[in-house]
Structure 1
Amino acid sequence: MSDTGVRTELLADKDAVELAETRSRRKFSWARLGYGAVGVLVFLAIWDIAAIIKNDPAILPTVPATARTFWHYLFTDYPAVNGQTLLGHALTSTRRIVSGWAIGVVIGIVLGGAMASIRVVRFMIDPIIEFLRPLPPLAFLPLLIVWLGINDTPKITLIAIGVVPILTIATVTALDAVPDELVQASRSLGASPFYALATVRLRAAFPTIITGMRLAMGGAWTSIVAAELIASTSGLGYLINQAGQNLQMSLLVSGIVAIGIIGIVFDSLLRLLHRRTDPTSR
């Protein structure tokens, strides 16, 4: 057989292997989806049985009652909650989350990249990050309210404060794990230190950085809901607080469900981005 024929056969075998791997991943994804659906159904069944046994909607509403309330107030104003719909409050919280999270991600990646590349910067910033990391972001809320008021600015700032340490540490850890051979190869081809950082190190470290983004997104929801419970006139945290004061347990649980749904959507998008940047991920 000629060399051309051998190469063609090898390429065909490689394509077949990649196709088999792709099909395997799809089967695994469908299996995970199926098992996840079963888990959700079991959880809903346990919830409904507990609500029926308790038989007190002011403490624990049933699943059908919660679903009806969720659907009704999704597009209908709830007068006791600033005259907004459940969808309106969800969009308000989502806007704050995305703004604060995005700002924190950009700052965290920039700081992490500087710390991983310049030793002096690392020595200067590391104590500050280690000081901020164990502090709950809500500890800064009274200061932010005094300085910035009760509009969206302190809430977005609060989220960014919680995101920055997580993304900084994730970025530094990911960049430190990049093999030196990759950087040396790029430098030998004439790449500057900054170009090597932007196109080689960050590209190789990005899947790990995305994991930090996912962790930061969960913390961001905790911060915004707590902030809206304390100092806000809109958002899902405010909705939950008002519904609890009025003993509207179905609406309260609907607000919690809305947070969970939005959180799953954001996490799924980040998972998809992770798979796009890391072919070995599942």
Structure 2
Amino acid sequence: MSNVHPTAIIAPGAELDSSVTVGPYTVIGPHVRIGAGTTVGPHCVIEGHTTIGENNRIFQFNSLGAIPQDKKYAGEPCELIIGDRNTIREFCTFNIGSPGDAGVTKVGNDNWIMAYVHLAHDCMVGNNVIFANNSQLAGHVHVGDWVILGGFTVVHQFVRLGAHSMSAMCSLLFADLPPFVMCQGQPANARSMNFEGLRRRGWTPERISGVKAIHKALYRDDLTLEQAKERIATMALERPETAPDVAMMNDFLAGVSANRGIVR
């Protein structure tokens, strides 16, 4: 392969599309598969049972597919799966899954992941997310589509982040962050909803107004979580255009652990 640098080490068994580019001194293990159009920069290590899709840009000094930082791990063939069209900047560490969960760490499509981001074992990351520099996800974290994490955000294990949510720089998340919610602080507190992000994604004023009503029920009307869920459920009848957003919010809230709760 003329687009693999002669100093790169590609183990027998690795499957790379003929259009993949690999930079100097990169090491790729025997169970790695990389799809068409992906570029891998210099001094990367890609190992384990790792599958990388098409047209990704992986910059220098990344470690992808290493074993989980989990003392219980005993060599099981767990996986890291990365989708298409992702940008992964310098010094990121994505670990494979663990047998204590689904055994897979997964990253979706069209994500923008900046330098020094850590994805621990069994994280599930959706599509179109932005993780700013030094965002750190502990094990088993689930991240919905269009989530934005400010620099130095730290997320506790098993926390879920709903679609379109956002954290400010240096936020510390111990609880689930519902869809649309913007948070800030250590520990993080809810500040508002991500209305500007929704506008940029082409949402109508009517639909954004529905999200404002959801925010009011969840955070402004002094309701318990159960009361807020009941209030939100009625909104789909009153505002039909909010039905998909109401369903997403109530699906998310239905999965909230009593021990962990939501960011308040």
TM range (shorter): under 0.3
In the superposition, the TM-score normalised over structure 1's length comes to 0.20
Give the TM-score of the pair, scaled to structure 2. 0.21
Report the structure number with the largest CA radius of gyration: 1
RCO (CA 8 Å, sep 6+): is it higher in 1 or 2? 1
Query: Relative to total residues, which structure has the larger helix share, 1 or 2?
Result: 1
Question: Whose strand proportion is higher, 1 or 2?
Answer: 2
